[in-house]
Structure 1
Amino acid sequence: MLLFLCTEAGRGRGWKDVVIVGALRTPIGCFQGALSRHSAVELGSLVVKALVERAGIDPHTIDEVILGQVLTAGTGQNPARQSAIRGGLPNTVSAITINDVCGSGLKALHLATQAIQCGEADVVIAGGQENMSRAPHVLTDSRTGAQLGNSQLIDSLVHDGLWDAFNDYHMGVTAENLAREYGISRELAGRLGAELAAQGAAGDRLRSLSR
């Protein structure tokens, strides 16, 4: 999750400059692992709170929170707003939850940057929150009732997050199709992944400018 800010140099001009003044995340948990009992909102709110505290800014100066979340079934209305309020932000701060599947968090950063550049906001928190372990199974005929025969539980993790709604197959199949189309072997993919990991480990980490 990132904290975006309009720079003083960008104020008053037609196109505002945008900087990242804070970046935080929770640890990465495995499926049904140590973090599985915590909802996406619980995890997200902790990051929101810590992000504001470490940046040393007044929560009332934040204009908007934009969070990507794909698996929203059972999490309640507007999970991004829940995380914002539970993270200590005032209820005057607007928040939106977006779903662009695997690109949800990145799209949130894009929208935050746009909002600042266009003059709609000066301070925005953006990122993503998710807990695949908490995705429920859904009984689609529960309201009408099954008069005869069996009812089927739909796994919202697969149905909403991992299944191609147009081609009716798992997104893992899509990855294999793309690899075949563009000639990306497993060896090449592994080598690229290792190189990116090495570059990330060697590069400068994001640090809060408030420190």
Structure 2
Amino acid sequence: MRPPNDASALEEVTERADTVWTRPSGKPPRVHVTARRELKGPHGRVAIIDGCRTPFIKSGTDFRDMDVIDLASIAAAELVARTAIDPELIDLSVFGVVVPALHAPNLGREVVFRTSLPMRIPGVTVNLACASSTRAMTFGAGSILTGEADVVLAGGAESLTNVPIQFSRKAARTFMELNRAKTLPQRVGALGKLRPTDLAPVAPAIAEYTTGLSMGESAEKMAKENDISRRAQDEIALLSHQRAAAATEDGRFARQIAPAFPPPGYDKAVAADNGVRADTSMEALAKLKPVFDKRYGTLTAGNS
């Protein structure tokens, strides 16, 4: 967070530049600064007390019958139980989600309902693409710094298995006309305007409406502008899988995971990630084809 002009309102205790990186090809050097701050304001210090999560599960597998409300509520309920915090102390519930459920767009508020938290707690939902849950945490921290809240429940959830599927605009208009029709001839006339292609489902475009660019396409641009090679991306992906496998093996992940009992049986505990590839290699990653820029791209299903 950027401190305001009034230094007394928010004290920045420490800041250290950890890494200096010189860009190749004769381009100006760029300094990457990792800041370590302790934020204080007139309403006290902001601190993260604890956290937990559901397992990371591949789309269409164990959590296929669960939506974002189910997943977020499991983690929230487990966190409240682990910390033994008095729910009456919670002032705000804020959650991030990329593709909100059409039937319940305010995830932050739905978590309050589902976990039986005090009904007076307001719920907020934020969207910042893949950083939505991080934005939820900074939103909560800001609420504490400004005195709006003392205790905030913050998190995020996503279910790509259960993204809302829409119809074409023509089909939607026809359905509205059908709903307004009062006689059988009017209903038949409305349905007669439809063609089979009009009924094809339209998946949500996880992209900027104005530019039409998805996050992956924007990442391709960023990689080119900053000379981030395919190999460098694959190396980070490999290291990520290796570290995730190690954390699974030694129990570090088990301590942070809230087990889930998915429907329809609710009798099988899912308590581990199923997407970690402990046996992947640079050779395997190098064989994958680019996804977003198929001719010149560097982002693949393995390093994205």
**199 and 19 in structure 1: CA distance in 2 versus 1, 3 angstrom threshold:** farther
Distance 1:13 1:69 in 2: 29
RMSD of the TM alignment (CA)? 2.7
Question: Displacement of 1:195 after TM fit?
Answer: 5.0
Question: Displacement of 1:54 after TM fit?
Answer: 0.4
Question: Displacement of 1:194 after TM fit?
Answer: 4.6
**Alignment TM-score, normalising by the size of structure 2:** 0.57
**Alignment TM-score, normalising by the size of structure 1:** 0.79
Query: Quick one: which of 164, 170, 177 aligns to 1:141?
Result: 170
Provide the residue aligned with 1:177 in structure 2. Answer: 221
Is the contact between residue 171 and residue 194 of structure 2 (CA under 8 Å) also seen in structure 1? Answer: no
Question: Displacement of 1:72 after TM fit?
Answer: 1.3
**88 and 172 in structure 1: CA distance in 2 versus 1, 3 angstrom threshold:** same
Higher relative contact order (CA 8 A, sep 6+): 1
Amino acid at match of 1:34: D
Aligned pairs for 1:121-160 (under 5 A) are: 121-139=149-167, 140-145=169-174, 147-149=193-195, 150-151=197-198, 152-156=200-204, 159=205
Percent sequence identity is 29
Distance 1:185 1:23 in 2: 34
For structure 1, which runs of at least 5 residues remain unmatched after alignment? 1-9
Provide the residue aligned with 1:35 in structure 2. Answer: 63
Runs of 4+ in 1 over 4 A off after TM superposition: 193-202, 205-208
Provide the residue aligned with 1:167 in structure 2. Answer: 211
Is the aligned partner of 1:90 residue 2:118? yes
Distance 2:238 2:43 in 1: 38
Distance 1:118 1:197 in 2: 39
Question: Displacement of 1:29 after TM fit?
Answer: 0.8
Question: Displacement of 1:193 after TM fit?
Answer: 4.2
Is the contact between residue 29 and residue 36 of structure 1 (CA under 8 Å) also seen in structure 2? Answer: no
For structure 2, which runs of at least 5 residues remain unmatched after alignment? 1-37, 175-189, 257-304
Provide the residue aligned with 2:232 in structure 1. Answer: 188
Question: Displacement of 1:164 after TM fit?
Answer: 3.4
Is the aligned partner of 1:60 residue 2:104? no
Give deviations 1:124-154, integer Å, cap 9, x for gaps: 0111111110012101334421725431421
Query: Quick one: which of 27, 40, 46 aligns to 1:18?
Result: 46
How many residues are matched? Answer: 192
Give deviations 1:74-126, integer Å, cap 9, x for gaps: 34242221112211211111111111221211111111111111111110011
Larger radius of gyration: 2
**43 and 199 in structure 1: CA distance in 2 versus 1, 3 angstrom threshold:** closer
Is the contact between residue 41 and residue 75 of structure 1 (CA under 8 Å) also seen in structure 2? Answer: no
**187 and 49 in structure 1: CA distance in 2 versus 1, 3 angstrom threshold:** same
Is the contact between residue 59 and residue 88 of structure 1 (CA under 8 Å) also seen in structure 2? Answer: no
